[in-house]
Amino acid sequence: MKPAPFTYMRPENLDETVATLSQHGADARLLAGGQSLMAMLNLRLVEPSVIVDISRMPELNAIKLRNGMIEIGASVTQSELLAWPELEAQAPFIAKALPWVGHFQTRNRGTVCGSLAHADPSSELPLALALLEGEVVLRSTSGTRVLKAQDFQSGMLQTARADDEIITAVRFPAGAGARGRAFREVARRHGDFAIVAVGVIARDDGTLRIGIGGVADTPQCIEMNADAGPDEVKDRIEHLAWQLGGFDDIHASARFRRDLVRRLTPALIKEVRACAV
C-alpha cells in the first residue's frame, strides 16, 4: 500500500524542527530513518498530516562520550553505531545486541533513537535502554528535559514524549556491562521481531541486572546478587516468567514465551558469570 497524503517538511536545524513540532503537535510525525514509520505509513496504520524529516540534520548525527555517558544523536543509524570504533569498549552490551536489530539493510537506515521512539516491546534497543538504565534527551520550544529509561517507556508503542518534543539524543552509561554481559533472542528468522529477548549484565556493585523483552508491554528488569545460588535463581526467574503476563498471539503462546524466559535466562546468567571471572 501507499501512504495517505501528507505535507513534507525538512527543517535545516533543531530550532526549526521544534518550531514546526510546536505548530503541528500531534498532526506531525518525525521521520529519521523511517524503518518503522515508513512501514506504518505504507500500511496506513498512521496518517499524519505533516512529516518532519530530520534524517539529514548534521547537528543530530554525533556519537559523543561525555560525563561518563555515551550520547547518541537522533539521526545516528544503527549501522553507524555498530561501526563506531569505541563500541566494544564503551558499550559492550549494545555491541552484542545491536546486530540483532532488524537486518543489515534496515540497520543502514534505521536510527537508534527512532527505535526507542517507536517503543516496540520486542525491540532490542528499548531493552538495552531499560537494562542499562540509560536516559533520553527531549527538546521542545520550551526547553530540554531528560527522562530516565523507566520514566520514558510507558507502554506498548507508547512513550512519555510529548507531541511537540523531539528526542535529540539517547545516553547510555559508558562501560555498562564491561564486567559481564550476554544477550540472546528467539525469533522465527534472524532480524525479525523477537518472540523473547533476554539481556543480562554484571554490575560494579556485585549484582546482576536482567532484562526481558517481547513478553510484557515494555521491557522488564530485575536484579539479583551475582552469587545467588541455583535455587534462588530458579525461583526468581519462575516468578518473573509469570509476572510478565505473556499472551498467546500468532507468533507464540504465552506458555512458550514463559518457557523461553525460564530456559534462556539461566543460560545467560551462566554466560555473564563466565565473562566476569
141 binds other proteins per the rule CB under 8 A: no
15 binds other proteins per the rule CB under 8 A: no
* DSSP helix/strand/coil, 20: helix
Q: Which of 22, 108, 154, 207 binds other proteins (CB under 8 A)?
A: 108
- Least distance to other proteins from the beta carbon of 158, Å? 21
34 binds other proteins per the rule CB under 8 A: yes
- Least distance to other proteins from the beta carbon of 151, Å? 30
5 binds other proteins per the rule CB under 8 A: yes
Give the range of 11-19, 87-95, 130-138, 147-155 binding other proteins by CB under 8 A.
11-19
Q: Which of 11, 114, 211, 246 binds other proteins (CB under 8 A)?
A: 11
234 binds other proteins per the rule CB under 8 A: no
Q: Which residues of 21-31 are buried (b: 16+ CB within 10 A; e: fewer)?
A: beebeeebbbb
Q: Which of 21, 29, 32, 35 binds other proteins (CB under 8 A)?
A: 35
14 binds other proteins per the rule CB under 8 A: no
By the 8 A CB rule, do 70 and 63 touch? Answer: yes
Site string for other proteins, 38-77 (x = CB under 8 A): xx-xxx-------x-x-x----------------------
156 binds other proteins per the rule CB under 8 A: no
Q: Which residues of 229-242 are buried (b: 16+ CB within 10 A; e: fewer)?
A: eeeebeebbeebbe
| Nine-digit cell string for 133 | 538504565
| Nine-digit cell string for 150 | 523507566
| Gap between the Cα atoms of 155 and 126, Å rounded | 11
- Least distance to other proteins from the beta carbon of 202, Å? 27
Alpha carbon distance, N-terminus to C-terminus of the chain: 53
**Alpha carbon of 70 to those of 55, 62, 92, 173, 228: distances in Å?**
20, 10, 12, 6, 31
| Gap between the Cα atoms of 260 and 263, Å rounded | 5
User: Which residues of this chain interact with other proteins, rule CB under 8 A?
Assistant: 1-12, 16, 20, 31, 34-35, 38-39, 41-43, 51, 53, 55, 79, 99, 102-106, 108-109, 189-191
